[in-house]
Amino acid sequence: MQLTGLLWGQKLLKKVDYPVAKVLGPEASVDEIKELINDCGAVFIKPIFKGGVGKKGKSGLIGRATDITHALEEKERLYFAEHVVGNECAKADGVTFEGSVPAEHEIYFSISDSTQYRAPMMTITHHGGVDIEELPPEKIQEVPFDPLTGLKSYHVLNALEALGAPKALISPLVQNLPKLWTLYNNYGMNMLELNPIRMSPNKKGRLTPVACDFKGSFDQDDPAWTRLDLPSHLFASDYSEFEQEINQLRTYQGQSDVFVINPKGTITAPTFGGGANALVTELLGEKATISSDFGGNPPYAKMNDISRIVFKYWLKQSNVLFIIGGKANNTDIYETFRAMADALRSHFQEYGPTPLFVVVGRGGPNLIRGLNYMKDTLDQLKLPYKIFGHDSAMSEVVNYAHRADEWMAKEGAAMMEKKMTGATPEMASV
């Protein structure tokens, strides 16, 4: 679950009284935009993308205007802009107008969960405004700290002094940056990034660290984020009916992260676990209809509801139902497989049988019991299937799903149309 931009970022930052640039949303009137230009001298027009979409500036998706005519032209250009990052194509839905903040210095700052230190870590540099990956190590300070005591002023002070930051920057940052730990810790975040923070002089000439962009992600299993009262549609990658239905099921137990990859895909892969999701999404490519992570030990009722929605939207066009995940630690495989199998049976009862090849790969508690339940259901529905255990290489399981998709497209689907009421089809050629 990720948020980017200041439209909602400013609301979060104001909860801890952190200075932030002036922002207007897509509903802003001409008079409001004019007033913002008069106050700030210029505005930046940025498209609003769902989730965490990066590299917008390098793609020419940020406009700057010093008059209302140019501002409205940029609004028209960017309001429904499309942005391709890897295999993902994101479409904007609106723009923000952000007041320009004059400054000579820009700061990069983030708090994230470090797997190396098993602790939260602050990353900071006064060489902000660029991709941090491009900076040499000596220009960046990474400081792990104790989560029980939190981020303190001396952490910021020591890091800036080690970087040789100008003295005028140190005091304002020492006073303001620890506020961000309160936001991070109190609302279930696992990453918070401000880049850039522009050090803007106030009327007395004292520098103020003003946040000019925001990026954050939340641990969906931590109910603390729900206290922010963020609407669920913020965490969908698009406004498709499918994603909106799935996102209504967000709860503290079990994940329901989805986005549509290819509306014309032929492999539907309910996936369990972030690592499995990343690998499967990459290897399936455009064959995949959706990218998903349904891990987190969802209860039967939630997994059944999720499965019903997925099947309703995607089974008709799919050659392969690919149920895949790593070896779980605490997810009850029997409960999740029972829920999915029951949903599949209900789908066939409501919409009628459809040609489908099922590939299953999973490991974890109650695995054998869960696989047996799934196998019995698939046998009853007379669907061809292949089941892999936890000791199978996931990449090979994905390759098998590809071959099953090719077989279904070539001859399998036609064979199943004829044999749907007969014996289970063979798949010797896969």
Per-chain mean pLDDT for the chain = 86
pLDDT for position 429: 45
Amino acid residing at 264:
K
Residue reference for tokens 């020591």: 158
For the ranges 197-211, 244-258, 263-277, 361-375, the lowest mean pLDDT is seen at 244-258
pLDDT for position 425: 45
pLDDT for position 252: 40
Q: Are strands 320-327 and 357-363 parallel, antiparallel or unpaired?
A: parallel
> pLDDT class for 71, splitting at 50, 70, 90?
very high
- Rounded to an integer, the average pLDDT of 33-54 is 86
Higher-scoring residue by pLDDT: 171, 81 = 171
Q: Which of 325, 328, 327, 308 is nearest to 359 (CA)?
A: 325
pLDDT for position 89: 66
Query: Residue 330 above 80 pLDDT?
Result: no
- Rounded to an integer, the average pLDDT of 26-45 is 94
Residue reference for tokens 């050659």: 319
Query: Residue 344 above 60 pLDDT?
Result: yes
Amino acid residing at 135:
L
pLDDT for position 161: 95
Amino acid residing at 225:
W
Query: Residue 428 above 50 pLDDT?
Result: no
pLDDT for position 424: 47
Q: Which residues contact 320 (CB under 8 A, 6 or more apart)?
A: 266, 267, 268, 356, 357, 358, 359, 401, 404, 405, 408
Distance CA 145, CA 31 (A): 47
Task: Provide the token pair at 311.
Answer: 């099947």
pLDDT for position 291: 83
Higher-scoring residue by pLDDT: 90, 107 = 107
Q: Are strands 271-272 and 267-268 parallel, antiparallel or unpaired?
A: unpaired
Whole-number percent of the chain with pLDDT over 90: 55
Domains of the chain, CATH where assigned: 1-20+102-235 (3.30.470.20), 22-100 (3.30.1490.20), 237-419 (3.40.50.261)
Could you give the 3-state DSSP secondary structure of residue 382?
coil
Query: Residue 182 above 50 pLDDT?
Result: yes
> pLDDT class for 233, splitting at 50, 70, 90?
low
Q: Which residues contact 109 (CB under 8 A, 6 or more apart)?
A: 122, 123, 124, 128, 177, 180, 193, 194, 195, 197
Q: How many residues does the chain have?
A: 430
Distance CA 407, CA 400 (A): 10
Higher-scoring residue by pLDDT: 346, 256 = 346
Q: Return the H-helix or E-strand segment holding 121.
A: strand 119-125
The pTM of this model reads 0.60
> pLDDT class for 328, splitting at 50, 70, 90?
confident
Q: Which residues contact 193 (CB under 8 A, 6 or more apart)?
A: 108, 109, 110, 112, 214, 215, 216
- Rounded to an integer, the average pLDDT of 374-384 is 94
pLDDT for position 85: 63
pLDDT for position 398: 92
> pLDDT class for 405, splitting at 50, 70, 90?
very high
Higher-scoring residue by pLDDT: 16, 275 = 16
Among 207-221, 238-252, 288-302, 402-416, which range has the highest average pLDDT? 402-416
Q: How far is the CA of 64 from the CAs of 8, 43, 53, 59, 174, in angstroms?
A: 20, 6, 20, 14, 31
The alpha carbon torsion through 66, 67, 69, 72 (nearest 10 deg) reads: 60
H helices present in 179-287, as ranges: 179-186, 241-247, 274-284
Distance CA 384, CA 123 (A): 51
> pLDDT class for 251, splitting at 50, 70, 90?
very low
H helices present in 207-299, as ranges: 241-247, 274-284
Residues 15 and 184: beta-carbon distance below 8 Å: no
pLDDT for position 80: 86
